[in-house]
């Protein structure tokens, strides 16, 4: 059973601060990791993908991956009220049949306070 | 911008009835998925579909569920005899054109909310 653990929150940060979201996963075979954002009542939206150990930056977002520790994180700099959403961590599992299956964590609810 | 479209946005049905949820994936994508999310819970994988056949399915995807790609554009999820616990938001997703979009990067539709009474 593949497990993805996230702090469910809510995580409250003031506008302009750094939000730090963490995720651990149990499947050592996972090679690719994804962060999705889900606004209340909406579908998940991909915001970051990371495939190798280290940091990957994209605008105000930085994903960090440590495969040895089975840990992936997402930092949001200069947090904005529009960042208020649930952030889903999703390691992949390649089925070997031409398809990837993502296992989503329950998500961390982020609230950015103006 | 290309998007995944789903119909209906909301369907109410009686327990035991058959339901078909429809999806039009992004046109040049190769991999198709159904996920579901029960209210307040996590997004759960149901099934993946590639090259006109099921690639993988979860233990949720039992005999009452089936998927089909009846033509070159639609991808459907059929629930044969709905149960109360099937009430959820059902998301269709697609991924993996042959270009720069990595197969593991999913594009989700807006979802179809199913309510079983």
The pLDDT score that the predictor gives to residue A1 is: 62
For A77-92, what is the mean pLDDT? 95
Burial class (CB in 10 A: 0-12, 13-18, 19+), B24: middle
Nearest residue in chain B measured CA to CA from A93: B104
**Measured CA distances, A90 to A31, A35, B87, B96 (Å):** 11, 6, 23, 17
Q: Which residue of A10, A42, A51, A101 to mutate against B (max B Cβ within 10 Å)?
A: A101
Say whether B48 and A34 touch across the interface (CB within 8 A): no
The pLDDT score that the predictor gives to residue A9 is: 84
For A53-77, what is the mean pLDDT? 94
CA of B5, closest CA in chain A: separation in Å?
12
Stretches in chain B below the pLDDT threshold 70: 97-103
Say whether A105 and B103 touch across the interface (CB within 8 A): no
């Amino acid at each position: 059973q593949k497990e993805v653990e996230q702090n469910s929150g809510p995580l409250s940060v003031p506008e302009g601060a750094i939000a730090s979201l963490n995720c651990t996963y149990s499947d050592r075979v996972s090679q690719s990791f994804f962060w999705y954002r889900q606004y209340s009542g909406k579908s998940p939206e991909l915001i970051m993908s990371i495939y190798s150990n280290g940091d990957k930056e994209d605008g105000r977002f930085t994903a960090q991956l440590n495969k040895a520790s089975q840990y992936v994180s997402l930092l949001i700099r200069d947090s904005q009220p529009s960042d208020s959403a649930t952030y889903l961590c999703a390691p992949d599992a390649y089925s070997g049949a031409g398809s990837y299956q993502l296992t989503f964590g329950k998500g961390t609810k982020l609230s950015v306070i103006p | 911008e290309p998007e995944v479209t789903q119909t209906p946005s909301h369907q109410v049905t009686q327990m035991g009835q058959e339901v078909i949820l429809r999806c039009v994936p992004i046109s040049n994508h190769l991999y198709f998925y159904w996920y579901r999310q029960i209210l307040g819970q996590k997004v759960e994988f149901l099934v993946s579909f590639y090259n006109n056949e099921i690639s993988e399915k979860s233990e949720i995807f039992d005999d009452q569920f089936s998927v089909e790609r009846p033509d070159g554009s639609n991808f459907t999820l059929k629930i044969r005899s709905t149960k109360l616990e099937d009430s959820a938001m059902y998301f269709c997703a697609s991924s993996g054109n042959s270009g720069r979009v990595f197969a593991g990067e999913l594009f989700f539709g807006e979802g179809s909310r199913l309510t079983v009474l």
